[in-house]
Structure 1
Amino acid sequence: MAKLILSTGNIVSGGPSIVRKPGASNLELINSLKVSFQDAQLDYADEIENLNVDVNGTTTTTTTNGTNNGVHEATNGDSSNSSNPEPVAGPLYWTAQDQTKNTIYVPRIDWETAGLLEERSQYDITVKIFFLPTTTPDVSRRAAYTSEALSLVQKELGGISDVDLLVVSFPGMSFDGDCEWEADKRNASQGDDEAEIATWQAAVEEALYAQGRVKRLGISEFGTEKLARFIKRVQVPPAVDQINIKNCCNVPPPLAKLAKEQNVELLVHSDCTDILPEGTLRELLGPQGAGLLADPKATSSEGLSGNLTPQWVIKYTAVVRNRGVIENKGYFAGAELN
């Protein structure tokens, strides 16, 4: 099994080519990834004909009709001991691979250009991790995903040690209804309380909050009953609850009352829960998209083969405090290729 790490880079500097439309929150992610892939393909186009890549003095070769599907491997195995991602030869030249972690970065990431322009203390940094309907229910793996996702954000923002707010979005949650009362009632039976609490305890409380990597914690799309049950069973209650009220216009009065009593800040958002559907990801990376995946209908096709399953998405935003300006915003996404 291989891991894919997808990244958009800083979309604030992406210009008008990144399409943002109201009411379709995952379009920002999808279009930002498309722009990121296209930019990388252009940036590294001069390497497309280099079928041999020298990694630390070791000549590597590319095969596109064997088991490694266009991903390079060292002839003497030396590169497998390196933890640094290396450029992939051949058609996937615009990606990079960390063979020790069996991870492919799509596209390559130039960490030397990453970072914030000012001191860390000048920013409010918010991250939101989305567990998807296709995310494994295994709590230990969810904890690993959360730690890995946050580490990528920390590295992208110049090696920062912490973030101000982490919001967790669980699958199967929504705030839809003809009115706020109906939406709140429907919400009470959504999701999976046991999985959500176990994930929170293992992935957030113990792994991130206790280590000081996150200053404040939040959840997304929790109505009155869900929030009340959740708070009673966790050691570190959420300081923030994000809800999407686009279809019901108002915050339910019981939720507002509970939030005030429990000192939970209510925030409005426009993100969708299933921000990266499985079919959308395969289309994005397939032969008609970025060309990373092999065409399953072709007898001979370059690219990666296997079942692709998105596991998580993390969104990050760095706002300059004294100016209220978003300086850095982007996404990472993780998927597994079996």
Structure 2
Amino acid sequence: MESRELIIYSGNILNKAISLRKGNESNEDEIFESLKACIGQKPDLLTKNVDPLNGNAIELFSEDEMNSSHEMGDRQDLKVTLKLFLYSLERKDIIASIDRGLRSTSVDYLDNIILSFSGYSKTGALTIEHIQKAWAVLEDQVDSGKVKMIGLSDVDTQLFIQTYELVKVKPSIVQINLASCCVVPPELAEFCKQKSIQLLTHSDPLNVLPEDKVLQLSNILQESAVIPDKIGVLEALWVMRFQVHLKTRGVLATKGYVVSLNGVL
């Protein structure tokens, strides 16, 4: 028995029936259903690889789910974005999520990354030290040319301003959840206006992959015999959502999720 990482790819969910969400279905349901649709298939329809980026990780995906966004046109015509929901602040985990975002969209750089601490912060209050630790990793990705712009989601106004003042690469985007904040904080709106920061809203849940959903995924993996060994308790390290827009047409062409689950196999 050893600790192993499972990487589950949803593929492009816009090509699947699960993308046709009901009006009362949440983003949390969309994430869970897209991952369940992948691992719930017959084992012979599912590809299982030892991850080339991490020999201790196993990748799970269907061949028809791996989308190549470069087939949709020239790179300059695409807007490729990631949102990272962190449950771990380890450098290797953050880098792994970004690398898989690049692989999933078949591009060599990302237009922007939005960082969310919703999963991590459920265990306690988010601090400037937490943000700086993860932000330093994103700054390196900007310096290397892998990312053009980086931003934050669901951060208290004062914490966001403090982060902006301290970091080297300034956040270009900030997202707020109108479900938990019915109006945009005036101080944040004014600060963003002064600094030319994009202020966006979103409807993602506070915890995109709660423990009960992880347990259900674990049970599906066990029942399908995709992983022949007995699976211990799994925990999320990160969830990543990738999107590809066709800029000239204003169309969302690709959307999907990748999740990293860590446990004992």
Same fold? TM cut 0.5: yes
Q: Deviations over 1:91-113 (max 9, x none)?
A: xx653334870211123556975
Matched, 1:204 2:158: no
- After superposition, the Cα gap between the structure-2 partners of 1:29 and 1:308, relative to the gap in structure 1 and judged at 3 Å, is same
Distance 2:26 2:209 in 1: 12
Structure 1 residue 204 displacement after superposition? 0.7
Q: Percent identity?
A: 25
Q: Max radius of gyration: which structure? A: 1
AA aligned to 1:326 is L
Secondary structure, aligned partner of 2:69: coil
Distance 1:111 1:8 in 2: 7
Aligned residue pair count: 257
AA aligned to 2:138 is V
Matched, 1:95 2:48: yes
- Choose which of 37, 58, 69 in structure 1 pairs with 2:39: 37
| Mapped contact 1:23–1:270 kept (Cα < 8 A) | no
User: Aligned residue for 2:9?
Assistant: 7
User: Aligned residue for 2:86?
Assistant: 131
Normalising by structure 1, what TM-score?
0.69
Distance 2:49 2:230 in 1: 13
Q: Which runs of 5+ in 1 are unaligned?
A: 46-92, 175-188, 295-300
AA aligned to 1:169 is S
Secondary structure, aligned partner of 2:7: strand
AA aligned to 2:185 is P
**Greater alpha carbon shift after TM alignment, 246-255 vs 304-313:** 246-255
User: Aligned residue for 2:111?
Assistant: 164
Q: Which protein, 1 or 2, shows the higher relative CO under an 8 Å CA cutoff with sep ≥ 6?
A: 2
Distance 2:95 2:18 in 1: 32
Normalising by structure 2, what TM-score?
0.86
User: Aligned residue for 1:150?
Assistant: 98
Q: Deviations over 1:248-290 (max 9, x none)?
A: 432111111111112211000111232112331121231xx24
User: Aligned residue for 1:291?
Assistant: 222
Distance 2:262 2:110 in 1: 26
Structure with more of its chain in helix, by fraction:
2
Structure 1 residue 218 displacement after superposition? 0.5
Distance 1:113 1:262 in 2: 37
Secondary structure, aligned partner of 2:183: coil
- After superposition, the Cα gap between the structure-2 partners of 1:111 and 1:8, relative to the gap in structure 1 and judged at 3 Å, is closer
Give the root-mean-square deviation of aligned CA atoms.
Answer: 2.7
Q: Which runs of 5+ in 2 are unaligned?
A: none
Structure 1 residue 302 displacement after superposition? 5.0
